[in-house]
Amino acid sequence: MLVALLMRTVTHDWSDTGFKPAIRKNTWWYIFIILVSCVMMGLLLLVGKVTSLSSVSGFSMSPYLKMVLLGMVVFFITTTFEEIGWRGYMVPKLASIGINTYLAYAIVAVIWATWHMSYINELTWVSSVQEDVPSSIPRLYLMFFAYSILYNEIRLITGSVWSVVLFHSFVNAIQHPLAAEYLKIVPGQEYLVSFSGLFMIAFAGILGIALNRCRMRNAGLSKSFTM
């Protein structure tokens, strides 16, 4: 975040920061973010239950909600620092120079994922921490690429970095307590049904690509109306 703010200060370029939440304009997108975060988590839990690869054990709503609320406060602060750098600076700048959309998203994902490697081992409840490096590290980069598509599209559609701060922090707030306290995964199946597993990566990637196509189609319609 500090580097992004410094770059904007030096270049006097604050035109595409996305600092305005634009709540009235983006009301439905903020609602969409909350709903789709819950749906993605629910789908993963359903897949785990149907395949008998994971289960939720000892779940209690009251303690869980308390952890979610506390997590929302903590993650909102931490993701604000992240997203002002990633989606508040890198994404709009890469978009402005005309670089291929998915290449830009891959660049952001690689930097974003590499930045996380410095402390991810401290998150002992994250399943990939308990796996062998050859299998977990490539999948983590793939996960960050999938979420990069999803978050970057939300940023470009809403024009506000705060939409992604909400998305990122809410996803973390609802997933981390569940993974830490209640989610039980059959050993060796973490690569499939954990929150960093292939099913969740597929959910995030497919949704991100769908949003990209929707955004590009709407952009094409706007151009045709102005011609």
Query: 172-216 pLDDT, tens per residue?
Result: 999 999 998 999 999 889 889 999 899 999 999 999 999 999 999
Query: What contacts 122, CB < 8 A, 6 or more positions away?
Result: none
Residue 134 has a pLDDT of 60
Query: What contacts 191, CB < 8 A, 6 or more positions away?
Result: 131, 135, 136, 139, 197, 198
Q: Which residue has the higher pLDDT, 13 or 48?
A: 48
